[in-house]
Every structure is written in structure tokens, then in C-alpha cells.
């Protein structure tokens, strides 16, 4: 089989977990691959159903060189977070929404998908098995990465016949190296991230490779990240490499609509709801890039990124700066979200799944 069963067997003894404290500097987590103890694997199938999921030691996996994901990018992923509450218990944030998004993406990519229950079970098992890697309260989160991909061999273009659903985890802190400092965004005009009819609205593995060139170019000029424009008119805001974008003007918060080219972020959707709760008017609408010049605040949202304030945006060589105050909307929204995620604020929305 493409995914070596011997690898899985060697790796499948959760009882060998010795409960040692993780050797991690919790104050300097950042966002880099830090292997934990276990991952959860399920395979599929002739009939479209995933069966026999199990925990395995976190280890390399073996794939056929013909694997669908390696040759034709038949793969999607999710990213969600678990947090440790002050009392030590573990909380998962909206795993049901991630499961639903994966199901929708799977359909677009001709992948069978785990059921909502299987997805949530995998996330919970992965967190429980990696308990010692969940950071202490306020130090960060355990980032959970479910992957779904064609593992079976193909040569002509077409879907694989075997699939893997694999959930691994890694402790994380700030996504950006600069920590919580406001982002300096560069508006990209040479390349686009997505186009109508494409897969910009799906979390495919193939959405992220193509943004790296512009990202490196912007970083080499001192920017934190790239802000993309729509591919048709080249004048409406789309999203940042790994996050959604919001602007505030007066009491109105606006964000581009998720009409196919924009990733429907779970953090995006949560922030829209929190903003309305806090009394802001929220609009999902096309935002002309020149509106940035008049904005009171700009911020980005994403599971990995969190809620990140933007200090400047550079478009056509002109840099527009935004004030980032202690009492900003971005701060209020971010701390409410983190409060709910970490159990400091009561969840009356059904967003928290206790583990
Ligand atoms: C996330 O925010 O969880 C993502 O999946 C973005 C990722 C590309 C870092």
C-alpha cells in the first residue's frame, strides 16, 4: 500500500507515551514544525467511507511516487486550535465548522471526506494524546492540522483510489516572527492568489505554493505579508497569504465576501459575529483598494494568525499608515475571541468543545 503499514504498526503504540513534560520553551513558541507524540490516521476506501482510525506515533509516512497528492495536488487541509484553560482542562475551538469546511472542500477536489463526527473524534484524540504539548494558559495553543489527500497511485489526471485522513499537532505561539507588532502589508499586483471558478475558496494544498514567490519578494523588502487583489479588476481586496482582511471606518467593519475566491475563515466568521455583538455594523462587500487610504483600522484574521493589527499598507509605492491604539476595535475583537477560546469568557455560542 502507498502508506506503509509497517510505518503505522511501528508507530501505533500509544501506551508507550511516558507522560514526560514537553521540552519546549513556552515563552518563545513561534509557528514552526515541532513534532509531538502522536498523530491520528484513517484510510479510505472503495466505498467512500473512512474506517479504522487510530493513533500512531508522530512519524514520517511513506507514499508511492505515483500518489495523487504528489503529482496532481489532490489534497486539502484544515487548521484548528486547542487551548488549555486556567483549570488545566482542554478546549477545542469550533471543530464542527472545520469539519464542515473540509467536507465542502473535499467535494470540490473529488476526495471522500470523514464524517463530522470522525473529524471531531480525530481532533480530540490528537489533542488528548498530545496533552503534554498543549501550552500552559496564555502561552499559546496546540495547532491541529488535519490533512486529507489522495494517496493512491495515478499517472493520468484523475482522482486517486486510496485516500488518507491524517491529523497531527504542533504547539504554536505567534504566527509572525515579529510577534504581535502591527503588520506591514504589501499589495501585490504582479500575481494573483485566486480567480473565479478556481479553488481560492477551498483549503487546497495547492493554494499556498503559488503565493510563496510574492511573499518572499515582499519579505525581502521588509514587509510582513502580501495583500492580494481580485484577478479580474485588480482593484478589490481579496486576502493575505494565510489570513482574511478587515477594515474599519467609523462604526462599520467591512470584509470581502466569500464568493468563491476567498477562503471562508472560521476566525473570519467568528469575528464578524463578535463585532456585531460589540455593536459594530459589519458588511461583507467588495472593498476597493483605495478605501484603505481612508480606513481607521485594518486587521487580519485567521486560525494561525489570530487577529493581527495592520500598521501599514503599501500600494503602488505609496505607504498608508494606521494607528494601532490600546483601545482599538482590533484589540477588543481579538481579546474577546481569545477570551472565548481559552475559557476566560463564557461561551454562549456553542463554539467551545470541551475535551
Ligand atoms: C490557518 O490559519 O490555520 C491556516 O491554515 C493558514 C495556514 C496556511 C498557516
Per DSSP, 153 falls in state B
- Per residue in 205-244, pLDDT tens? 999 999 999 999 999 999 999 999 999 999 999 999 999 9
Residue to probe by mutation, ligand 1, list 146, 224, 305, most atoms within 8 Å of CB: 305
* pLDDT higher than 90, residue 7: no
Residue 343: what are its φ and ψ, rounded to 5°? 80, 5
CA of 97 relative to ligand 1 center, distance in Å: 15
CA of 341 relative to ligand 1 center, distance in Å: 17
Judge whether 203 counts as a catalytic residue: yes
Residue to probe by mutation, ligand 1, list 77, 81, 243, 304, most atoms within 8 Å of CB: 304
- Contact by Cβ (8 Å): 282, 275: yes
Output the pLDDT for position 5.
43
Output the pLDDT for position 19.
54
Q: Which of 54, 81, 203, 269 is catalytic?
A: 203
CA neighbours closer than 13 Å in the CB half-sphere of residue 285: 11
* pLDDT higher than 60, residue 35: yes
- Per residue in 105-132, pLDDT tens? 999 999 999 999 999 999 999 999 999 9
Ligand 1 atom nearest the C-alpha of 77 is 5
* pLDDT higher than 60, residue 11: no
Buried b (16+ CB within 10 A) or exposed e, 63-86: bbeebbbbbbbbbbbbbbbbbbee
- What is the average per-residue pLDDT within 263-271? 98
- Atom 7 of ligand 1: nearest residue by CA position: 242
CA of 306 relative to ligand 1 center, distance in Å: 10
* pLDDT higher than 70, residue 328: yes
Instruction: State the Cα–Cα distance between residues 247 and 287, nearest whole angstrom.
Output: 9
In this predicted structure, which of 41-55, 210-224, 273-287 has the lowest mean pLDDT? Answer: 41-55
- Atom 3 of ligand 1: nearest residue by CA position: 79
Ligand 1 atom nearest the C-alpha of 303 is 2
Ligand 1 atom nearest the C-alpha of 203 is 5
Average pLDDT, the chain: 93
Output the pLDDT for position 322.
96
Whether the bond into 45 is cis, omega within 30 of 0: yes
Residue to probe by mutation, ligand 1, list 75, 76, 79, 170, most atoms within 8 Å of CB: 79
Ligand 1 atom nearest the C-alpha of 305 is 2
- What is the average per-residue pLDDT within 290-319? 97
* pLDDT higher than 70, residue 97: yes
Ligand 1 atom nearest the C-alpha of 81 is 3
Instruction: State the Cα–Cα distance between residues 242 and 228, nearest whole angstrom.
Output: 11
Output the pLDDT for position 13.
52
pTM (2 decimals)? Answer: 0.94
Give residues (CB < 6 A) around ligand 1.
Answer: 79, 208, 242, 302-305
- What is the average per-residue pLDDT within 68-73? 98
Q: Give the confidence band of 23 by pLDDT, cuts at 50, 70, 90.
A: confident
Output the pLDDT for position 48.
83
Which ipTM was obtained for this model?
0.96
- Atom 5 of ligand 1: nearest residue by CA position: 79
CA of 203 relative to ligand 1 center, distance in Å: 9
Q: Give the confidence band of 147 by pLDDT, cuts at 50, 70, 90.
A: very high
Q: Give the confidence band of 20 by pLDDT, cuts at 50, 70, 90.
A: low
- Per residue in 161-206, pLDDT tens? 999 999 999 999 999 998 899 999 999 999 999 999 999 999 999 9
CA of 351 relative to ligand 1 center, distance in Å: 19
Output the pLDDT for position 1.
36
CA of 278 relative to ligand 1 center, distance in Å: 26
Kindly report the number of other CB atoms within 10 A of residue 208's CB atom. 14
Amino acid at each position: 500500500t502507498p502508506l506503509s503499514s509497517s510505518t503505522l504498526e511501528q508507530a501505533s503504540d500509544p501506551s508507550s507515551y511516558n507522560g514526560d513534560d514537553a521540552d519546549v520553551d513556552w515563552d518563545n513558541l513561534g509557528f514552526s514544525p515541532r513534532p509531538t507524540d502522536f498523530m491520528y490516521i484513517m484510510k479510505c476506501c472503495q466505498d467512500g467511507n473512512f474506517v479504522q482510525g487510530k493513533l500512531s506515533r508522530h512519524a514520517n509516512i511513506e507514499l508511492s511516487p505515483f500518489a495523487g497528492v504528489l503529482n496532481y495536488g489532490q489534497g486539502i487541509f484544515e487548521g484548528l486550535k486547542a487551548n488549555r484553560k486556567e483549570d488545566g482542562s482542554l478546549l477545542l475551538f469550533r471543530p464542527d465548522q472545520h469539519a464542515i469546511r473540509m467536507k465542502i472542500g473535499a467535494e470540490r477536489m473529488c476526495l471522500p471526506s470523514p464524517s463530522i463526527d470522525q473529524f471531531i473524534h480525530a481532533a480530540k484524540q490528537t489533542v488528548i494524546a498530545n496533552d503534554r504539548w498543549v501550552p500552559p494558559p496564555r502561552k499559546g495553543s496546540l495547532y491541529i492540522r488535519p490533512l486529507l489527500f489522495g494517496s493512491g497511485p495515478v499517472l493520468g489526471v484523475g482522482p486517486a483510489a486510496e485516500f488518507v485522513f491524517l491529523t497531527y499537532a504542533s504547539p504554536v505561539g505567534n504566527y509572525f516572527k515579529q510577534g504581535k507588532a502591527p503588520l506591514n502589508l504589501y499589495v501585490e499586483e504582479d500575481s494573483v492568489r485566486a480567480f473565479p471558478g478556481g479553488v481560492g475558496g477551498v483549503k487546497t494544498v495547492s493554494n499556498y505554493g503559488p503565493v510563496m514567490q510574492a511573499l518572499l519578494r515582499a519579505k525581502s523588502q521588509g514587509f510582513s505579508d502580501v495583500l492580494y487583489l481580485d484577478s479580474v479588476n485588480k482593484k478589490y481586496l481579496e486576502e493575505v497569504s494565510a489570513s482574511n482582511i478587515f477594515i474599519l471606518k467609523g462604526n462599520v467593519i467591512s470584509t470581502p465576501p466569500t464568493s468563491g475566491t476567498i477562503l471562508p475563515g472560521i476566525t473570519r466568521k467568528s469575528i464578524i459575529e463578535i463585532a456585531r455583538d460589540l455593536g459594530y455594523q459589519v458588511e461583507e462587500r467588495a472593498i476597493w483598494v483605495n478605501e484603505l487610504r481612508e480606513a481607521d483600522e485594518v486587521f487580519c484574521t485567521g486560525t494561525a494568525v489570530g487577529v493581527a493589527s495592520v500598521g501599514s499598507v503599501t500600494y503602488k509605492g505609496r505607504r498608508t499608515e494606521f494607528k494601532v491604539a490600546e483601545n482599538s476595535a482590533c484589540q477588543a475583537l481579538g481579546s474577546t475571541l481569545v477570551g472565548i477560546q481559552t475559557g476566560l469568557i463564557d461561551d454562549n455560542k456553542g463554539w467551545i468543545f470541551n475535551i
